[in-house]
Amino acid sequence: MADRSFEQKVKEELADLRIKPDASVWIGVASELRKEKKRRWFIWLMLLLAGCGTASIWTYFQFRQPAPLAENGKMAAIVKPVTTSQSSIPNEKEKVNPVKGVAIKPENAIVLNGTHREKNTFSWQATVDKRNAKSVEPSNQTVTVHTGIDQEPAKQKELAMVGNHVSEEKKIEEVSMNGTSQDKQVFKDSLQLITHEEKQIAQTIVDTPQQVLENLTPTLIKAIVQAPKKWNWNIHLAAGYGNTITALLPAGKSGNDVYASSPSTGVGGPGSIGTPGGGGLQTASGGGGRTAAFSFNAGVEMSKLIGKRNRLGMVIDYSFYQTNATVGNRIDSTSYFSSVNLYNRNGYYYNNGSSVNYREQYHFLTAGLAAVFPARLFKQLQMRWQVGAGLQFLIASNGLQYDAATNRFFRNNSLIPKIQPRLSFGFDFGIGKQSLFYVGPYWQYTTANLAGAGTDKRHLVLSALKLSYILPEKKNKVQR
């Protein structure tokens, strides 16, 4: 009972305590509410992008048809010298991979260029690489059609046989048209499903190679030869060093090269970073400043052929930038920063100085466009120029801002633009015969200013080595 009276007295005195808060508290709350509103919008945008990406991938795999060739979208029919005594259908040992040219030499090959047109149809345009075909000796030869058939219905199989569908080694079905009558019938039946003109060519190929050569006019070749305009997917990783600079052009001094004086104290040089005077970083010799730190970028690109060689694509990637900064001692306290009219929400700030190493980190998601211009060096080396532009969306950051009035550094991400335009540039070289891997230098530059306060300018840059991997098209499996 006695206890209760004591507690009651305390409660009466303290429960209804009222203290008027500082106006900055509401500023902080309102700022956070605005930020959350933007964040919600950003989440929806990311969900939309993720949905589009997923739908694209699903569509890609759903509607992808058996690749006409394993390489460069070409189809191949192989003119193979055979003797009249040769077995009509080659046995297992004779099966070759014409694409890799393991057993078929170029002078023995006729290459058909084609493209798929619709889902589940193998309507393709066929012609013959005349240069190669010329070298074919018409006498005592027959045409062997190499086919690789995906796990598709029987009708598709027949069509695939017509289309000379090349597949993986050891999975090639071969149909020699001077073989059994049954084989020949199957092949000819399938011809009914292609156009008259194509049928003529195909039949000609089958029946008389010499006649094929005669029928091939330059016009026909020109009209038909075209690379398939498919989406090409690749993944990339660029790892290197990130930093901040004051301007893209050389006229703008790097933040690391600029001494700045603190407007509040008038004391210049070492110890001041990010001051509004311009750049606001001191050199390393001054005991501090921003220096480069490990950063990377990873993402996915889907591109389509524009014209004969160049590609234009969409890029979605994640960028992680870091910079090293040196600041003064940390003070665990909240403070109101009048120069930017903002409240420090993180419960600490840093004095101006050079006693503490601080690593600034920036996380971005980017959606953008990229153009690729292939080139060839020394006839052998595949090379590509790349330029890109996109929008970076800030996910998170612990980047510091400078308050001129108090000469302190503090965190407040509302000062960092949430959406930042980004430019990228680079070139790379293909590795290997198939050039599925490309590696080369790469640069990124963000045009938005990271420093929201004062006249300071800081732009993120990434200098990296970029490795790209072009996802190969799905190879077809043979259905026996």
Partner 1 sequence: MDDHQKLVKDCLKNDPLAQKQLYELFSEPMLGVCYRYTKSIQDAEEVLQQGFIKVFRYLHQYAMQGDLGAWVRRIMVNTAINYLKRKPRYQLDLSFEDTHLHPVTAYEPEMNLNRKDLLNLVRQLPPGYQTIFNLHAVEGYTHVEISKIMGISEGTSRSQYARARALLIQWLEKYSGNEKKDMYGR
Chain contacts with partner 1 (rule: CB under 8 A): 2-3, 5-7, 9-11, 13-22, 24-26, 28-30, 32-33, 36-37, 332-334, 343, 345, 347
Q: Which residue's CB is nearer to partner 1, number 30 or number 381?
A: 30
Measured from the CB of residue 35, what is the shortest distance to partner 1 in angstroms? 10
Residues 42, 418 contacting (CB under 8 angstroms)? yes
Strand duo 349-351 + 342-343: pairing: unpaired
- Closest C-alpha among 460, 472, 443, 336 to residue 399: 460
Smallest gap from Cβ 369 to partner 1, in A, equals: 33
> d(Cα 46, Cα 55) in Å, to the nearest integer?
14
Strands 459-470 and 437-446: antiparallel
Cβ proximity to partner 1: between 37 and 170 the closer is 37
Helices 181-191, 196-207: axis angle to 10 degrees equals 160
For residues 11 and 20, give the distance between their C-alpha atoms in angstroms, rounded to a whole number.
20
Least separation, in Å, of the C-beta of 21 and partner 1?
A: 5
Angle at which helices 154-162 and 181-191 cross, to 10°: 90
Which is closer to partner 1, CB of 153 or CB of 347?
347
Shortest separation between residue 36's beta carbon and partner 1, angstroms: 7
Cα-flanking dihedrals φ and ψ of residue 363, to 5°? Answer: -115, 130
Q: Which is nearer to partner 1, 81 or 347 (CB)?
A: 347
As measured in angstroms, the least distance from the Cβ of 265 to partner 1 is 24
| Spacing of C-alpha 315 from chain mean position | 5
Comparing CB distances to partner 1, the nearer of 38 and 199 is: 38
413 vs 401: CA distance, rounded Å: 9
Joined together, the tokens standing for residue 240 give 């290197």
Nearest approach, Cβ of 11 to partner 1 (angstroms)? 5
CB 404 to partner 1: min, Å:
22
What six digits make up the tokens of 311?
A: 């590609």
Shortest distance, position 16 Cβ to partner 1, whole Å? 7
Shorter beta-carbon distance to partner 1: residue 11 or 105? 11
* CA atoms of 101 and 105, how far apart (whole Å): 6
Query: By C-beta, is 5 or 91 nearer to partner 1?
Result: 5
Long-range contacts of 195-201 (CB under 8 A, 24+ apart): 195/123, 198/124, 198/125, 198/126, 201/126, 201/127, 201/128
